[in-house]
Amino acid sequence: MILEKTHTALAVLFPETTIDDSQIGAVEEVPAKEEEKGAKKTPEPRKNGVILRDYAVHGYHVDIQLAPSQLREAVAIVDSLDYFIESITGVDWIKEEQMEVIYDFSRYDFDLCRVVIRTRVPRDQPSLPSITSIYAGANWHERETHDFFGIKFEDHPHLVPLLLPEDADFHPLLKDFKA
Amino acid sequence: MSEPVRIQADETFVLNVGPQHPATHGVLRVKMEMDGEYIVNAETVIGYIHRMHEKMAELKTYPQYYMNLSRMDYLGALGYCHGHVLLVEKASKIEVPERAEYIRAITVELNRIASHLFWFGAFVMDLGGFSPLMYALQDREYILDILERITGSRLTYSYYRFGGIYNDVDEQFVESTRKFIPRMRKSLKKYHRLVTGNIIFRKRLEGNALLSRETCRKYGASSAVARGSGINYDVRKNEPYSVYPEFDFDIPVYSEGDSMARYKVRMEEMEQSLRIIEQGLDKLPDGPIMPKKPPKIIKPPVGDYYQAVETARGNFGIRLISDGTKNPYRLKLRSPTYSNMHLFDESCRGLLIMDALAFMGSLDLVIPEIDR
């Protein structure tokens, strides 16, 4: 099954964490409990690693968080396993002074497995390696993410505004953006 | 046609197609570097009608934002609405009555046919045949009338609700839809006789703009663009949602990878949608169309949720990051033609400009949906 295959292939990136399937259910529970209590206390920042998610709840299977330096390696693994790129997007976590970039991958065959790769960059210096040399289709997605969040993709061939006007110097999806 | 075109890069000029050009079906601009009639390089410029739908999502509550979805793709609006309601229902665990889900599937498929009909007419018009558009719009009109009666609008539907639908269908809807199915089948035959076998049409499309499986994968193409290149990918089958597993239908796949294959896929999809509608009407269960206690305030629990649906234009994905409040913390819309259009730049190199425009037509572009 591709799910196990992907999981094992990506777990190579995190040698210090052991794969233990019994933990998976436990990880799932955490956000729900916090919500019941009113979610006032700040949740523990998530550690880098691979988590298998419940597809019926979240709509994807494999959820990976990694350091920006591991990004290209992880995407190359996903590419070698015949995934197609679905989208790239950002999230502005202003309270944690971080920005998250999310990469979505899915498959063309009937062995359904959705992979989500997340990485976080500091908010004041958002910069990530570009994956356009692996997936040519990442080009527009990265330009769009640069438009909306100001995240710089190093070695991107043509990082100019795509959806915003060509002289745009604002990033509308930042939480402190005021029109 | 199959021989590679020899290009002398030092004798080129730049041709600007659009932003206002009939062949682009909307406000789309392509900067083409030309060597005579051949394209050396192309750069697509999008964003002319960008409206920042994703920011609007963060500023509005879930029900307030819902109507934005139908403004994305004005030809196949219901598919996008379906994705949004399914996502919010999944995130906030709202149960949907079966009858509502069936009606959703039926109306989405009706809308898909309407969208494909418009595409068919416009595509043939791109290639110089005007009259098929008239026939196609006539058939589309029946669908718009059927949908208008129950949804209240003809183009920008806001028919679904979180938990169900807003208006139950009646006998007249079932009757008129049943009448429409054989009429549409007859029309499809007519289209095939009128257009598909036409020698000029075939000569222009066969072997035009070949897309490989690998290109599709690297760009994340979906809908007929992927299925015309031998990829058996349809979210309704690959990632079943709603009541689609209940229906017996096929996914047309052609391996040629040319514009003709993309054309054939869409034409056959209309027939498959008719089959789904037919079965949906047969199986349509009785019962409520909204849950007993529909939630008054939508507040999905903290988390990250994703939902993909097959709209008329392909794999539409929608991601919600909720912080447990009334507004989404982040809502990402992954539009199918955005990815389909993206591969145009690379794939149109070496084509004649007329062939490139035929290729563009075969991608089934709706610009507001690319620009969001």
Residue A27 clears pLDDT 70, i.e. is over it: no
Domain annotation covers residue B1: no
Total residues belonging to chain A: 179
What's residue B116's pLDDT?
A: 92
Domain that holds residue B40: 13-371
pLDDT value of position B182: 92
- The confidence score (pLDDT) of residue B301 equals 86
Most A CBs within 10 A among B219, B234, B340, hence the mutation to make, goes to B219
Q: Quick check: A20 pLDDT over 80?
A: no
Number of structural domains (chain B) is: 1
- Give the mean pLDDT of B310-336: 89
Contact residues, chain B, for A83 at CB < 8 Å: 217
Query: What are A127's two structure tokens?
Result: 């910069």
Distance in Å, alpha carbon of B139 to nearest chain A alpha carbon: 33
Identify whether B57 is part of a domain: yes
Interface check A39 vs B, CB under 8 A: yes
CA distance A74 to A105: 12
Chain-chain contact of B220 with A39 (C-beta, under 8 angstroms): no
- List the beta strands (DSSP E) in B183-246: none
Name which of B203, B201, B110, B189 is nearest B157 in CA terms: B110
Q: Are B180 and B142 in contact (CB under 8 A)?
A: yes
Residue with tokens 């290209």: A72
Give residue-wise pLDDT tens across range B121-140: 988 988 888 888 899 999 99
Residue B70: inside a domain, yes or no? yes
Instruction: Record the pTM.
Output: 0.86
- Which residues lie closer than 8 Å to A100 by C-beta, 6 or more apart? A90, A91, A93, A118, A119, A120
Q: Is the dihedral of CA B101, B102, B105, B108 positive or negative?
A: negative
| Mean pLDDT estimate for chain A | 79
Cα Rg of chain B (Å, integer): 21
Does A24 have pLDDT greater than 80?
no
Q: Which helix (H) or strand (E) holds A76?
A: helix A71-80
Cα distances from B31 to residues B40, B170, B326, B340, in angstroms, run 11, 51, 43, 18
Q: What is the pLDDT of residue A30?
A: 43
CB B260 within 8 A of CB B206: yes
Residue of A60, A135, A163 with shortest CB distance to B306: A60
Q: What is the pLDDT of residues A38-83, one digit of tens each?
A: 444 455 677 777 777 888 888 888 888 888 888 888 888 888 888 8
Inter-chain CB pairs, A–B, below 8 Å: 115
In a 13 Å sphere around the CA of B371, the CA atoms on its Cβ side amount to 20
Region class of B242: left (phi > 0), else alpha (psi between -120 and 50), else beta: left
The answer to whether residue A36 scores a pLDDT higher than 70 is no
pLDDT confidence band for B168 (50 / 70 / 90): confident
Coarse DSSP helix, strand, coil percentages of chain B, rounded to the nearest 5 percent:
50, 15, 35
Q: Residue B117, exposed/middle/buried by CB under 10 A (0-12, 13-18, 19+)?
A: buried
pLDDT of residue B367: 87
Instruction: Give a yes or no: residue B130 inside a domain.
Output: yes
> What confidence score (pLDDT) does residue A23 get?
46
pLDDT of residue A16: 67
Q: What is the ipTM of this complex?
A: 0.85
- pLDDT band at residue B1 under the 50/70/90 scheme: low
Distance CA B145, CA B151 (A): 10
Instruction: Give the pLDDT band of residue A166 (cuts 50, 70, 90).
Output: confident
- pLDDT over 80 (residue A8): no
Comparing A81 with A10, which gets the higher pLDDT?
A: A81
- Are B38 and B338 contacting, i.e. CB atoms less than 8 angstroms apart? no
pLDDT above 90: percentage of residues in chain A: 4
CB B197 within 8 A of CB B124: no
Query: So what's the pLDDT on residue A28?
Result: 46
A136 to chain B, closest Cα gap in Å? 6
- Asked if residue A48 lies in contact with residue A14, where contact means CB atoms within 8 angstroms, the answer is yes
Inter-chain touch B55–A173, beta carbons under 8 Å: yes
Average pLDDT, chain B: 87
The closest of B164, B172, B150, B186 to B102, measured between CA atoms, is: B164
The answer to whether the Cβ–Cβ distance between B238 and A108 falls below 8 Å is: yes
Q: Tell me: the pLDDT tens digits for A97-148? A: 888 999 999 888 888 888 899 898 998 888 889 988 888 888 999 999 998 9
Which pLDDT tens digit goes with each residue over B50-64? 888 888 888 888 888
B345: tokens are: 């730049």
User: Residue A34 — very low, low, confident or very high, per pLDDT cuts 50/70/90?
Assistant: very low
Residue A82: its pLDDT value, please? 87
The three-point CA angle B26-B328-B367 to 5° equals 5
3-state secondary structure of A106: strand
Distance CA B291, CA B22 (A): 46
**Residues of chain A contacting B332 with CB distance shorter than 8 Å:** 87, 89, 102
CA-wise closest residue to A145 among A134, B62, A133, A131: A131
Which tens digit of pLDDT belongs to each residue from B241-293? 888 888 888 899 998 888 899 999 999 999 999 999 999 999 888 888 888 88
Cis peptide before B295 (omega within 30 of 0): no
Walk me through the domains of chain A, giving residue ranges and CATH numbers: 2-16+44-154 (3.30.460.80)
- Asked whether residue B4 is domain-assigned, the answer is no
Query: Per-residue pLDDT tens for B169-190?
Result: 888 889 999 999 999 999 999 8
| pLDDT one-digit tens code per residue, B76-126 | 888 899 999 999 888 888 888 888 999 999 999 999 999 999 999 988 988
- Would residue B215 count as lying in a domain? yes
Closest Cα in chain A, distance from residue B218 (Å): 5
Does the pLDDT of residue A85 top 50, yes or no? Answer: yes
> What sign for the dihedral angle of Cα B341, B345, B350, B351?
positive
Can you tell me whether residue A38 is helix, strand or coil?
coil
- Dist CA B265 CA B123 (whole Å): 14
Specify if B7 maps to a domain.
Answer: no
Q: Which helix (H) or strand (E) holds B164?
A: strand B164-165
Residue B7's pLDDT band, with cuts at 50, 70 and 90, is low
8 Å CB contact of A86 and B371: no
B55 located within any domain: yes
Q: Indicate which CATH number applies to the domain containing B312.
A: 1.10.645.10
